[in-house]
Structures are given as structure tokens and as C-alpha cells.
Amino acid sequence: MKKKQKEPPVPIERHETVRQRIISILEGQTLSAKEISGSVSIPEKEVYEHLEHIRRTVNTRDANLVITPAECAKCGFVFRKRERLKKPGKCPLCRSEFIHEPLFLIKKTVMK
Ligand SMILES: [Zn+2]
């Protein structure tokens, strides 16, 4: 893959695929799926599909998808064991539906 000289990451390049754009915006900032959805202009549902794929593939690229688990805003219950990335609908402890969304970040494992 060709790599250009250093360029500011902000203006998103048109030729990149959506998945590459998600990867590049998550390198260096922690975002919820909703925020990613706004940045790359795709529905939140599709963001989760890309994130599932990124989670499986990014580890081979000297990076990790770091997930901050969803958390109940009422009682503080943390959804640690959740295998699916999507925000849970309801807290199993207090039944509150006010859940903080999970957050995503891509962390490089190789330092330069
Ligand atoms: Zn709760």
C-alpha cells in the first residue's frame, strides 16, 4: 500500500474506504459509534458492522481495538462480558434504559 508523506489527518481523503476512514479517525481519539457515524456519514448500524470487522482484523496490523464497555448511568453496572459491540438496551441490575454507550479507540502496539 502506498503511503504519502505526513499529512494532517483531518480532511478525510475521498479514495479511502469507509473502514479505513473509521480506522484512521479512531487512531488517536476515543469515540462512540454515534460519533463515528457522524464523522463518516454512515448509519450507526453500519458503524457497528465495520467495528466488528475492525476488531477481528486490526490486531494483525500492530494495533488493538480498545473498547470501553457500556455502563449503566443509573447504578454504574459495567457491561464487561458483552461480546457484541452494540449498546445494550437495558441494565440487568436496575432495569434502567439509560446506558452510556461503549467507546472505541485504536491503539498502536508498536511504538516508534
Ligand atoms: Zn443499572
Domain boundaries, given as residue ranges, for the chain = 18-108
Going from the Cα of 82 to the center of ligand 1, the distance in angstroms, rounded, reads: 15
Going from the Cα of 79 to the center of ligand 1, the distance in angstroms, rounded, reads: 10
Going from the Cα of 78 to the center of ligand 1, the distance in angstroms, rounded, reads: 9
For 24, other C-beta atoms within 10 Å of its C-beta total 15
Decide: residue 44, CB within 10 A, 0-12 exposed, 13-18 middle, 19+ buried: middle
Going from the Cα of 69 to the center of ligand 1, the distance in angstroms, rounded, reads: 14
pLDDT tens column, 11-59: 555 557 999 999 999 998 999 999 999 999 999 999 999 999 999 888 7
Going from the Cα of 71 to the center of ligand 1, the distance in angstroms, rounded, reads: 8
List of E strands, 1-112: 31-32, 63-68, 71-72, 99-100, 103-108
Going from the Cα of 19 to the center of ligand 1, the distance in angstroms, rounded, reads: 33
**CA–centroid distance for 62 within its chain:** 17
Looking at the predicted structure, is the pLDDT value of residue 112 above 70? Answer: no
**Fold of the domain spanning 18-108:** Arc Repressor Mutant, subunit A (1.10.10)
pTM given for the model? 0.78
Going from the Cα of 104 to the center of ligand 1, the distance in angstroms, rounded, reads: 21
